[in-house]
């Protein structure tokens, strides 16, 4: 059995820590006694999470910094605050993300900049920051998505940002492996983290039941994958099967199928 990584020789920095998956990472790591740096936009949610972790686990340190990752100045302030505390980064989990789903013509400029920045630019920027401020070993988990495996009409920007994040992670892993840095892109399918996603999973019937994974299991799986320095990892048997099974289908069929299905769902994020 693989030894569990305690992550005590540095800090685990989690973005999107107040969201469903980020929280699952925070709990999983706190259980192992990791020293944590949590970030999200809401200070109130961060304080509540910190208190919950301190009550539940024998965690030695939980720092939190509220920051808007879509905002360059906010991101800069986050980095300065972490640097000022001289925290060496042992693990970076880029879990923050925004999943806007609607026809691209309905996006405002503001919305598309926001989504691109949170899903891609902030993750890339934090990889660079973590590298510069790393502990003797650094592990980076970039949360992409199976939605990045295909170009997705009506989910085009989300899918493109996740595809870019996967591609970036795979290349970066190669550059940094000589420096004792592991980089893994995780490609989850659906996780029931919010009410709208739970509804969506329900609407997918048997497929939803089979393919959806709990955020806790995705967090565990991700930590194992980066430990093994996997390049990228699709989460779950059914999502892997979907990838293999659709590989031989013509692109035009896939695009038509996705467009038909995804044009029926609309959701927003800010």
Q: Which residues are catalytic?
A: 158
| Token output for 180 | 């004792």
Q: Is 93 in the site for ligand NAP (CB under 6 A)?
A: no
- Assess 236 for contact with ligand NAP (CB under 6 A): no
Of the candidate residues 27, 41, 50, 90, the single one contacting ligand NAP (CB under 6 A): 41
How far is residue 81's CA from residue 40's CA, in Å, rounded to a whole number?
14
Q: How many chain residues touch ligand NAP (CB under 6 A)?
A: 28
> Both tokens of residue 134?
């790393």
DSSP string for residues in 108-175: -HHHHHHHHIIIIIHHHHHHHHHHHTEEEEEEEEEE--GGGSS--TTSHHHHHHHHHHHHHHHHHHHH
Stretch that binds ligand NAP, among 57-65, 168-176, 183-191, 221-229 (CB under 6 A): 183-191
For the record, the structure tokens of 210 come out as 């089979």
- Closest residue to ligand NAP, Cβ-based? 19
Taking the least distance from each CB to ligand NAP, the nearer of 145 and 166 is: 145
Task: Tell me the C-alpha to C-alpha distance, in Å, between residue 209 and each of 186, 196, 198, 206.
Answer: 20, 15, 10, 5
Contact residue for ligand NAP among 28, 163, 166, 193 (CB under 6 A)? 193
Instruction: Count the alpha carbons within 13 Å of 123 in the hemisphere toward its beta carbon.
Output: 30
- Does the footprint of ligand NAP cover residue 127 (CB under 6 A)? no
242 binds ligand NAP (CB under 6 A): no
Point out which residues bind ligand NAP (CB under 6 A). Answer: 16-22, 40-42, 45, 68-70, 95-99, 118, 143, 145, 188, 190-191, 193-194, 197
């Amino acid at each position: 059995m693989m030894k569990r990584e305690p992550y005590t020789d540095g800090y685990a920095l989690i973005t999107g820590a107040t969201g469903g998956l980020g929280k699952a990472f925070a709990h999983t790591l706190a259980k192992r006694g990791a020293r944590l740096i949590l970030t999200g936009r809401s200070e109130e949610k961060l304080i509540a999470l910190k208190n919950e972790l301190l009550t539940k686990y024998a965690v030695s340190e939980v720092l939190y910094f509220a920051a808007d990752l879509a905002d360059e100045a906010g991101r800069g302030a986050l980095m300065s605050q972490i640097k000022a505390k001289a925290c060496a980064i042992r693990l970076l989990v880029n879990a923050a993300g925004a999943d806007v789903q609607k026809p691209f013509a309905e996006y405002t400029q503001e919305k598309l900049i926001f989504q691109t920045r949170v899903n891609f630019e902030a993750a890339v920027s934090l990889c660079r920051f973590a590298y510069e401020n790393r502990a003797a070993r650094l592990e980076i988990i970039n949360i992409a998505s199976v939605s990045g495996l295909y170009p997705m009409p009506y989910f085009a920007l989300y899918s493109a940002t996740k595809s870019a994040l996967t591609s970036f992670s795979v290349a970066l892993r190669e550059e940094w492996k000589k420096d004792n840095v592991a980089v893994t892109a995780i490609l989850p399918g659906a996780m029931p983290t919010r009410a709208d996603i739970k509804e969506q999973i329900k609407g997918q019937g048997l497929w939803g039941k089979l393919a959806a994974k709990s955020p806790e299991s995705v967090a565990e799986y991700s930590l194992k994958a980066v430990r093994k320095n996997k390049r990228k990892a699709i989460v779950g048997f059914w999502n892997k099967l979907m990838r293999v099974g659709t590989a031989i289908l013509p692109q035009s069929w896939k695009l038509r199928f996705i467009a038909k299905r995804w044009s029926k769902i609309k959701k927003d994020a800010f």
